[in-house]
Chain A
Amino acid sequence: EAQVTQNPRYLITVTGKKLTVTCSQNMNHEYMSWYRQDPGLGLRQIYYSMNVEVTDKGDVPEGYKVSRKEKRNFPLILESPSPNQTSLYFCASSPRPGTGRNNEQFFGPGTRLTVL
């Protein structure tokens, strides 16, 4: 089954304790992206990746890091989480834009993060 998986689904942590949210897709997609969803703000893009070893900042990258060492995985790293990073996080993937293939994104189920 084609899917995007995220782990963990729920996480409660404390300020300053490094954490990683994993994202994996099995559709051989080049493009992967992380979003955060906050009430009244919709989805905002944190980072995206056009392919292996290619990453770029979205609209709200501060406080986050990503890596793309393999095509299928795109982990989101919070080196020193703060309470303002409490949010619902979504990973998404799609074929590379501009290739003419279907370019809608497939979303993971979400990770609800609480930073105390």
Chain B
Amino acid sequence: AQSVAQPEDQVNVAEGNPLTVKCTYSVSGNPYLFWYVQYPNRGLQFLLKYITGDNLVKGSYGFEAEFNKSQTSFHLKKPSALVSDSALYFCAVRDRGGNRDDKIIFGKGTRLHILP
């Protein structure tokens, strides 16, 4: 069965420092992987995705993520954090190999606090 784990409920980073938000997944086939961001009182916004090709994916607002098949991870990263990056981040997976590749599973979310 598909699953997504975001092991940290909250991550605190000083402004200007690099940030990492962790995500690991489990699927039966090859995954589509996504990161979404939710700002207060807003819906989710798409940040980036991995479908195929380069393991390092670049997305919106300077974020990037690295697909690591051996570690089944898709960690979100940014070289220099901004206070405006403070938000709730969700990792999601869609399983391409199983019979139910139309289901999408989200992690529980990681709240990112960027400290001025």
Contacts and interface: CB of A to CB of B under 8 A. Distances in A.
B90 A42 contact: yes
A11 interface: no
B55 interface: no
A17 to B, nearest CB: 26
Interface string B82-101: 00000000101010100001
B13 interface: no
Nearest to B4: A42
Contacts, number: 62
Contact of A109 (B6, B9, B42, B46): B42
Contacts of B36: 105, 107
Contacts of A4: 43
Dominant secondary structure of chain A at its interface with chain B: strand
Interface in A50-74: 50, 56, 58-59
A97 interface: yes
Interface residues on A, range: 20 to 34
Nearest to B100: A56
20 contacts: A31-B102, A40-B108, A42-B90, A42-B106, A42-B109, A43-B92, A45-B104, A48-B103, A48-B104, A90-B44, A97-B32, A97-B94, A103-B32, A104-B34, A105-B34, A105-B44, A105-B104, A106-B46, A107-B36, A110-B42
Interface of B: 6, 9, 32, 34, 36, 42-46, 49, 51, 90, 92, 94, 96, 101-109
Given A42-B107, A105-B46, 19 more contacts: A42-B90, A42-B108, A43-B92, A43-B106, A45-B103, A45-B105, A50-B102, A90-B43, A97-B94, A97-B101, A97-B102, A98-B101, A103-B32, A103-B51, A105-B44, A107-B43, A107-B44, A107-B45, A109-B42
